[in-house]
Each structure stands twice: as C-alpha cells, then as structure tokens.
Chains A and B, each alone.
Chain A
C-alpha cells in the first residue's frame, strides 16, 4: 500500500511519520509525475492559498481531482479540507471542490483563537482535537456524514471515500484517525 502526501507546503512530514509508524509506505507529492500508483492521498495542513496556487501551477490540480472523483480515498486536514470543499463562505478561491460542504476559512480568528478540545469522533471515540487558525464546516451537503462536532460546529465529515477534518490529527501521538483512514483505503482495495 502506498499513500501519497501532498508536499508542496505545510505539515506533511507529520502525516508521513504517523503513517510510517503504522507500517505504511508514503510518497511525497511535489509534481505531477508523483501522482501515479497511489492507494490513498493525504492533503495536509498548511496555508491553503499557497497549496491551491502551487497545485495549479505545477499542473497537479486536474489529475488529483480526477483521482479523487474516481474514488481514491483522501484524508484532508485543516488547509486540506479547504482544498476539498465545494464552497468556501469567505473566499471565492475553490480548489478541488470534490466534497459537497461549505467551509469557513480562519473561522476561529487569528492564532490567539487557536485551541484544543476533547470531543467524540464517530467510529473512533473521544479525540483531543487541535485547532490552529482552523476552518469549520458550516453546511454539509447531501450524502455527507458528520463525524464530529465541537461546540455545535462540524469538525469532521465523510463523503464516500473523502474524509475532511478541520483539526490536526497529525500533531500529538494519537494515530486512531489515521487508522480509521487506512481502513477506508483497505476497504476500497478489497472491492
């Protein structure tokens, strides 16, 4: 099994270390030629404006969108969730647009609004969620399953093989969300 991790900018090493600790081989995705032969893909945290721009300019956007629309499992955290969202309520710059959700960028304000909170994550249990200049999901469209809420706001959701999370499961030592994602990948490989 090979999981590709978008590595144009952001906290991609943290995802790589976590997946490798679970015995999975990873590949950093920096160019179009890195995109073939993947069983799943991770869109990490970082600055969504930078990642969006580089995906376009490195000609990675269209092939990646086709792969995700074709059912390739994807784990998207924080900025990654913004890349997946069909609508962004406070920014016109839609990137992949494959997940029918409306996301609000920098929804908790600047860095002094960043926080941690323990909350239940469906199918996983209670998780310590780390929000850093985080977005949240304002509206989940048809077919979207809400997996977690914090203070009434959606912090995790799944649409088919797309898992969108507004916090950072790659920080800290809890691997359960990555294991949940790997189950999605294995489930697809078996079908």
Chain B
C-alpha cells in the first residue's frame, strides 16, 4: 500500500481513540484492570514514568515478551514506547505487531540530533511536543498523532497545561496571519511551509492532539479536555494511586463528560489516595527537554 493511504489509516486510528483515556500498564493484570475501567488503549511498558524517575539510569524499550503478554490480555489497541531516534527498537515493535509506537522522551534518548524517520514504517507513531514547532516537526517526520510532553511521572499537571496553552495560542496566531507572513513563520518554527499553511487554513493540527504528562485526577483530565485536548494519556497517575480501578474508571467518565461539573464532583469523591507527586522545582531529570 502506498505511504499516503497508510498515513490516512494511521491518522484514522488516532481519531478513533478521541475522547478516550490511554493508560500506562506494566502487567497483563493491570492491562485488564485498565480495559475494564474503560481505557481506549493501553501503553505497555516495564516501568511507569514515576518509577523510571526513581530508578534513574538508562531506560529502554520494554521486553517484547512482556508486551506480547499484554497484547494477549486485552482486545483494545496496545501501544509501546521506543527511545527517541532508536529506529531499531521501533522496527522490533513493528515486528511484534504493536498498534502504535510512542517515540518517547520518557525513555533515555538514543539520538540527540535525529528523530526516527517515521515515514519508513507501516505502524503509526505518536510523539510528544511542547509547542507548535515541535508538533509540526514530528508530523513532518511522519507522526500520526501528537501529545503534550508535560512532565511525566510527576503527578504535576503544570507542564501539560503550559504546553497545551502554548500550542493553542500559536495555532490561533497562525490563523490570524496574512498569507504572505506564513513563509517567515515557517522559517521561525523550523517546519515545512505546507504544514504551516494547513494550520493557517484549518485552525488545528493535521493530526489528533492528546494531553499527557502529570495527569492524576478526574479534574486534571477535565482541565486538559477543556483546554482543547482531544483525549488524555494517564501514566503513573493510576497505578501509583490507592485504588487504581476506581480512579481509572473515574478519569474515563470525566474525560467523556468534561464540562459537567456536578458529575465531576461525584466522580472525584472517595477515590482513595492520589499518587504522591513531585513539584517541577523538585525534580532532577527534566524529560520534556529531551528531543526537540
């Protein structure tokens, strides 16, 4: 099949995930809890970001055997992470028939200059972005879905909010520009003119945009959806909390009904302990700065 058709199918799968919650899971058991709670997809990884942060050292793609166990446990799409620029890890994930690859700053970058040429793959990629320039660079490399980077494994939503607001402000600014100003803007953003033109004409990215990084409560999910996210990733927030099944189900419902404050109040009740969380000023590794 030609690349263009494959890219349409890959962007299409991201559209089917919209309005949903993608949950980090480390075991088949957790994957089943996530699916039963209403996750629209799971991200299979050996250690959730909070534990990666705590353990330190180099963090790599997960064991394919572990990923396969999760693929067998659930019927929803299964995603997995590879290191930024590590196209061999991506080839391996494609070989085990993963549904989506996250070229992720959560793992240790394998290349400090180049991202993966994602157009060479059949399987779709999602990538993190802090602003419009990063998002459009990843899209021009072939990403079929974008998410905010946030600051993973902190339980602190401030960076995700910052990234989503910045991206939306830049999109609005681009829409308001005169057509003859778009060439200069493409130069400033370091992205192809055609993508700048698309955003100017449509007032949106050409792919789905989710929120990720630090989302830990139903209110966090509702906040990100009201700020324009099309769905959310929840990493450490669920399985680092006191009652994962209940919290996961509450975040799913909050994402579906993100403007109904009385329902959100009900959903926020009695969820047990939230993940402890670390403030941005207290962390040593800044993951959002990886891969720009």
Q: Which residues from chain A sit less than 8 Å from chain B, CB to CB?
A: 7-14, 30-31, 45-47, 49-50, 53-54, 57-58, 78-79, 91, 105-106, 109-112, 114-116, 130, 132-133, 168, 171-172
Judge whether B75 and A105 touch: CB under 8 Å.
yes
- Name the residue among B5, B9, B94, B257 with the largest chain A CB count within 10 angstroms: B9
Chain A residue, CB-CB nearest to B208: A11
Q: CA of A91 to CA of B38 in the docked complex: distance in angstroms?
A: 16
Chain A residue, CB-CB nearest to B230: A13
- The reply on B260 being an interface residue by CB < 8 A is yes
**Could you jot down 6 A-B contacts, CB within 8 Å?**
A10-B16, A11-B15, A11-B18, A13-B18, A47-B76, A168-B12
Chain A residue, CB-CB nearest to B99: A111
- The reply on B252 being an interface residue by CB < 8 A is yes
Chain B residue, CB-CB nearest to A14: B15
Judge whether A53 and B77 touch: CB under 8 Å.
no
Judge whether B18 and A111 touch: CB under 8 Å.
no
Judge whether B75 and A50 touch: CB under 8 Å.
no
- Name the residue among B75, B100, B257 with the largest chain A CB count within 10 angstroms: B75
Judge whether A171 and B12 touch: CB under 8 Å.
yes
Judge whether B18 and A10 touch: CB under 8 Å.
yes
- The reply on B52 being an interface residue by CB < 8 A is no
Known: A49-B75, A116-B5, A171-B8. A10 touches B13 (CB 8 A): no
Near A by CB (< 8 A), chain B positions 1-49 give 1, 5, 8-10, 12-13, 15-20, 35, 38-41
Contact for B13 among A53, A105, A133, CB less than 8 A: A133
Q: Which residues from chain B sit less than 8 Å from chain A, CB to CB?
A: 1, 5, 8-10, 12-13, 15-20, 35, 38-41, 71, 75-78, 94, 97-100, 122-124, 252-253, 255-257, 260
For A50, list chain B residues within 8 Å (CB): 20, 38-40, 76, 252
Known: A31-B260, A49-B76, A50-B40. A11 touches B124 (CB 8 A): no
For B35, list chain A residues within 8 Å (CB): 49
Q: CA of A31 to CA of B253 in the docked complex: distance in angstroms?
A: 11
Judge whether B38 and A133 touch: CB under 8 Å.
no
Judge whether B123 and A9 touch: CB under 8 Å.
no
Judge whether B13 and A111 touch: CB under 8 Å.
yes
Chain B residue, CB-CB nearest to A171: B12
Q: CA of A79 to CA of B17 in the docked complex: distance in angstroms?
A: 11
Chain B residue, CB-CB nearest to A57: B253
What are the nearest 5 A-B pairs in CB distance? A111-B99, A47-B40, A9-B19, A11-B15, A114-B9
Judge whether B40 and A9 touch: CB under 8 Å.
yes
Contact for A53 among B38, B41, B123, CB less than 8 A: B38
Closest CB of chain B to A163's CB: distance in Å?
19
Q: Is the interface of A mostly helix, strand, loop or mixed?
A: loop
Judge whether B256 and A54 touch: CB under 8 Å.
yes
Q: CA of A90 to CA of B201 in the docked complex: distance in angstroms?
A: 44
Closest CB of chain B to A34's CB: distance in Å?
11
- Name the residue among A9, A49, A58, A132 with the largest chain B CB count within 10 angstroms: A9
For A57, list chain B residues within 8 Å (CB): 253
Known: A54-B38, A106-B75. A114 touches B13 (CB 8 A): yes
Contact for B19 among A12, A112, A115, A172, CB less than 8 A: A12
Judge whether A115 and B9 touch: CB under 8 Å.
yes
Judge whether B19 and A46 touch: CB under 8 Å.
yes
Contact for B122 among A10, A13, A49, A112, CB less than 8 A: A112
Judge whether A109 and B75 touch: CB under 8 Å.
no
For A9, list chain B residues within 8 Å (CB): 18-20, 40, 255-256
Chain B residue, CB-CB nearest to A12: B19
Chain B residue, CB-CB nearest to A13: B18
Q: CA of A30 to CA of B225 in the docked complex: distance in angstroms?
A: 15
Known: A7-B19, A45-B16, A53-B38. A110 touches B97 (CB 8 A): yes
- Name the residue among B15, B98, B122, B124 with the largest chain A CB count within 10 angstroms: B15
Q: CA of A79 to CA of B18 in the docked complex: distance in angstroms?
A: 13
Q: CA of A58 to CA of B257 in the docked complex: distance in angstroms?
A: 10
- Name the residue among A79, A112, A133 with the largest chain B CB count within 10 angstroms: A112
Closest CB of chain B to A103's CB: distance in Å?
13
Closest CB of chain B to A30's CB: distance in Å?
6
For B257, list chain A residues within 8 Å (CB): 30-31, 58
- Name the residue among A111, A115, A116, A172 with the largest chain B CB count within 10 angstroms: A111
